[in-house]
Chain A
Amino acid sequence: MTVDVEIQINDSTNPRARFLTWAPSPCRIRVRNPAGITTPFVSLKISGRSTASGGAVQFRAGATGAFSDSITLTVSASGNTAPFFSAGKFGRPSSSNGDVTIEARSGTTLVGSVPVMVRIRKNANTLSAPERDRFLEALAKLNNQGTGRFSDFRDMHNASALGQAHGAPGFLPWHRAYLLDLERELQAIDPSVALPYWRFDKAAPNIFKPDFMGSSDNLGTVQFNPGHPLTFWKTDTVPGIKRRPIPAFNVNLAPPGVIDEAATLALGTQYKQFRGMEGNPHGRAHTRFDAISFLSDASTAPRDPLFFLLHCNVDRLWAQWQKANSRFDQAVAAAYDENPAFPVGHRLADTLWPWNGVTSRVNPPSAPGGTLAPSPGVGAPGLQPRVRDMLDYRGVVSAASRMGFDYDDVKFV
């Protein structure tokens, strides 16, 4: 027998918790078997080993300070844990589960290792084929036969419920919770999946191909390659997806009339100004599809899976804006548009429907889907998030607020 150490990612031994983002994850290391150790403490070097196209990780010993490629910790031989922090290296996200390994060495001897994934939301247009296919398979499974969990996501966004989420400041927090709930359900099916986003201010031809979100025929029926997981996509009672770009929108180019990222971020440094993005680019992106398309009306939009890629980009823009203006703290007035005159569900202290189970706010009264899906790696935003819980998604203000998602182009520091 030789020395053996246990490495806990997100302070957990659960393999399903072994996912990192750009934000620091709390980790622990402990000596599981002290065989051969004669001193009360042992010096362990922690580092990452990446595969060729795999993710890359970095470390620091404490809750603050700079990250480096490796750290050396003095760990008790008696089995007590020693804390450290680990994060993905910006620009080096994983492309599959376990494509980077965290290793611990005593001298040159490997004494422990765990495979991890730097799981990051990426641009759908440049997703690798395996990443794309894993996402599509998980989505198809979640929507199996138009029943099950996916229909809850439909009902959350249907006509009677839309007021909970739109046309007031809660728009961005509500949709952040909505996407996170969906993403966690997909991850329960395949933990390597992160939601991809559609950059609607850029050309994204690959998204509109029959091997991804499908191409539209002249009747606006979306066509997929034979055997594509979304071939049997069904919402409500009718199978298939209706989506037809307006004549001015050539899907090989950026859609016209949608303001770009720079203009979106320049809407203003106050949330009150920035939330104007609900109209343009958000609403304009929806209406780049014509009158027969699911996407161009709020009540039918979630019937098209492209909806989630569109909204993932809306959330990414908010994240970019939050980063650029330091707007993660709900106590900062400019980080939100707080006003008692806004309807219930749009003020910081309000819980968000439907996760709160409240049925009196909507008509017909219902709260589909239960509480928000939990994550094995992080505790936030909780089962019944409030508006204010959705701002600090990467734990900038309070480490405990970290939600376990990040975007490939939004730096942590």
Chain B
Amino acid sequence: MKATAVGQAELKLFWRNRTALFNSLLLPLLLVPALMAADADGVPLIVGLTGFVLLMAVYYNLVTTFVARREELVLKRLRVGELTDPEILFGASLPSVVVALGQTALFAVVVGVTTGVALPARPWFLVAGVAGGVIVFALLAAASSAFTRTVEMAQVTSLPMLVACAFGAGLFFPLSVLPDGVASVLRLLPLSPVLDLLRAGWSDGPVLRPLIVLTVWIVLGIYAVRRWFRWDPRR
């Protein structure tokens, strides 16, 4: 597939970019102790780490990637080539996605083995959760890049999504401490259904509702990208 040529180039750039390496490879690791202290159980740890990987390695990284390539006029140049618009976005997302998937798998195996987590009873929900999460956060990153003028600004413009998702999915404290109304609104944020699906891989949690919420977010993401994504720094 032609888009992988862009993906390979992006992967080279990823290895040459210290900030991206730090954000996506080291940052989630630094969170391990915090998450361990919060809850010693294995499954919540795997779920929480996957959430951070989706937020940092996929969402935050891709916001900066899309903005950087747009401001460097790389997106504009690619757009006069043979690739279609979705192929360009897919190619540019590839390394972040590959790194995120690798990390998730690694965390799951390491944590699973060290804490003695049982194999997931319903692995398909894990797959659906991770795949849906990668897709939705790549789309949201593309949409956010439209409102981000410079790579530096990405730290600010991505913050609302990062914080809201992390709190909303109960990564810092369980949602049960909040009033019911607030908690159920927070469950509508995009990371929440992803993590619900992951948990459902091991337990008998609900899956229909998270699947629906996730699908709605993907549709909204596609709409937002088509509507607002900017290929050219000039406006």
Say if A and B assemble together. no
Binding site for B on A (CB under 8 A): none
